[in-house]
Chains A and B, each alone.
Chain A
Amino acid sequence: MSKKRRLIFIAVWVLCAAAFLVSSLLIGSAQKSETIKEAMRDAVLHETNKISFFGILDVNPAVVSAYTVTFLILIFAAAVRIFFVPKFKEIPGKFQLLIEEAVGFFDSLAKSNSPHKNYFLGSYVFTAGTYICLGTLFELLGLQAITTEGHSISLPAPLADINGAIALGVTSYLIILSGGILGNGFKGMLSTLKEFSLPISMSFRLFGALLSGLLVTELVYYYVGLSFALPVIVGVMFTALHALIQTYVLTMLTAVFYGEVSEKTPKKDKKTRRKKI
């Protein structure tokens, strides 16, 4: 590209951008159908906007998001299983390396935190990690859905709904509990039940982290004036980073607690017990 053509391109580009910016500011936004208070409240509680779930029942948008994410992940996994896994080479290519890294990362996370009985844990943290990461990034797609009231809404991250976060937190806790029972039997179960605050803390940690991003994004998109350049930074800050951080935090916590409760505690000798007494 010559210097003159490059200058023309830049000038046209700047002019177009400036025209859209000025016109959008001059025209202003359409009459809001809901106030910011309502938008925020709905983002947190999902009380007003419901989506029909296959015509069976009305659910929060996050449920639809969750099933959409699962559907997309499973389609991708099936495609990989059918078309790529049989062609895997000993010296991996870029795509194979990506898949192997993903599996290997969660597998080594499970192995390093729980040296005993880690196969099941590895597969669970792999699932949870994939779900949290891709589920959070799913929000960036901005897929639209129609509410039961006829409004169009952007599908949120599945874990931005408290019910989704509670489901994942409780499932993780149940996995930890199963690890405790498998590793130490009744004693393991008791030591897991002792950590009764774990499902609550895991659920609300996830919910809080993702909700904060969602609220900031909602706030930014609520005002047209904030819709230039800022969403790029906000999107990266509160979606991409949250996806990675929350994936790491929940999988790490699950692996650590699983390792803790499934670790076999050495039985004390009767003689040493007597001596202590």
Chain B
Amino acid sequence: MSLPLNIDWQQILLHAFNIVLLFGGLYLLLYKPVKKFMDERTEKYTKIHDEANEKLENAKKAEAQMEEKLKSTQSQIESDLIKARADAENEAENIIKEAKEAKKKIINDAEEAATREKNRMINEAREEIAELAVKAAEKVLNEKTAKKENSNA
């Protein structure tokens, strides 16, 4: 049976055989080796990319950890500073207090010493006055005695 448009089964099969032949040949000679090369290269660069990403991720983690550490260190420093400041203030207050007490003690001691000196001087003056009074009395007496003796004589 002849088909329209000169369709011929034998020639269709010859063409199909040719296509299959070309398919096998092209696959083995060109497509497979070139694709293999491209896939290996893609795999290599993907691996490099992944490794770079992993390193970047690790670096980011390390940075985050360092920042965390830095923050905790800063807060530690701040708390230490506050504590040191408070200690220093306490120390200063103590020193001032001690100084005030020392000052008070010195003043008290000085006042006591001055009082003692004053009392001592008063006592000495009293004694001198008493001595002078005795001496004056002795002198008056002596004069009176001498006058009496002269008058008696």
B13, B15, B31, B32 — which one has the most chain A CB atoms within 10 A of its CB? B15
Residue in A78, A103, A127 whose CB lies within 8 Å of B38: A103
Please provide the 7 A-B residue pairs with the shortest distance between their CB atoms, ordered closest to farther: A167-B15, A77-B29, A163-B11, A45-B6, A167-B16, A77-B30, A127-B23
- Bound CA–CA A162/B29 (angstroms): 29
- Bound CA–CA A162/B5 (angstroms): 7
- Bound CA–CA A161/B26 (angstroms): 23
Residues A77 and B26 in contact in the complex (CB < 8 Å), given A45-B5, A45-B6, A158-B15? yes
Q: How many residues on A have C-beta within 8 angstroms of the other chain's C-beta atoms?
A: 45
- Bound CA–CA A121/B33 (angstroms): 16
B22 pairs with A100, CB closer than 8 A: no
Residue in A78, A127, A170 whose CB lies within 8 Å of B22: A127
Contacts of A127 in B (CB 8 A): 19, 22-23, 26-27, 31
CB-CB nearest in chain A for B29: A77
B26, B32, B38 — which one has the most chain A CB atoms within 10 A of its CB? B26
Contacts of A100 in B (CB 8 A): 34, 38
- Bound CA–CA A67/B19 (angstroms): 9
Contacts of B37 in A (CB 8 A): 85, 88
Report the minimal beta-carbon distance from B38 to chain A, rounded to whole angstroms: 6
B12 at the A interface (CB under 8 A): yes
Report the minimal beta-carbon distance from B5 to chain A, rounded to whole angstroms: 5
- Bound CA–CA A80/B31 (angstroms): 11
Report the minimal beta-carbon distance from B24 to chain A, rounded to whole angstroms: 9
Residues A81 and B33 in contact in the complex (CB < 8 Å), given A162-B6, A171-B16? yes
CB-CB nearest in chain B for A130: B26
CB-CB nearest in chain B for A57: B10
A168 at the B interface (CB under 8 A): yes
A80 pairs with B18, CB closer than 8 A: no
In the complex, the number of residue pairs spanning A and B with C-beta atoms less than 8 Å apart equals 116
- The segment out of A58-66, A214-222, A256-264, A266-274 that lies at the interface is A58-66
- By secondary structure, the B interface counts as helix
* Residues of chain B whose beta carbon lies under 8 Å from any beta carbon of chain A: 5-8, 10-16, 18-23, 25-27, 29-35, 37-38, 41, 44
B25 pairs with A77, CB closer than 8 A: yes
Contacts of B7 in A (CB 8 A): 162-163, 166
Contacts of B15 in A (CB 8 A): 62-63, 66, 158, 161, 163-164, 166-168
Chain A 103-137 interface mask (CB, 8 Å, partner B; 1/0): 11001000000000000001110111011000000
- Bound CA–CA A130/B13 (angstroms): 20
A46 at the B interface (CB under 8 A): yes
- Bound CA–CA A99/B10 (angstroms): 34
Residue in A103, A161, A162, A170 whose CB lies within 8 Å of B35: A103
Contacts of B11 in A (CB 8 A): 59-60, 63, 161, 163-164
A78 pairs with B29, CB closer than 8 A: yes
Report the minimal beta-carbon distance from B73 to chain A, rounded to whole angstroms: 47
Contacts of B25 in A (CB 8 A): 70, 73-74, 77
- Bound CA–CA A124/B31 (angstroms): 10
- Bound CA–CA A273/B49 (angstroms): 47
Residues A123 and B33 in contact in the complex (CB < 8 Å), given A63-B15, A90-B41? no
A38 at the B interface (CB under 8 A): no
A195 at the B interface (CB under 8 A): no
B33 pairs with A67, CB closer than 8 A: no
Show 29 residue pairs from A and B whose CB-CB distance is below 8 angstroms, ordered by the A residue. Answer: A45-B6, A46-B6, A53-B14, A60-B11, A62-B15, A66-B14, A66-B15, A73-B22, A74-B29, A80-B29, A90-B41, A100-B38, A103-B30, A103-B34, A103-B35, A107-B35, A107-B38, A122-B35, A123-B31, A131-B19, A161-B11, A161-B15, A163-B7, A163-B15, A166-B7, A167-B13, A167-B14, A168-B19, A170-B16
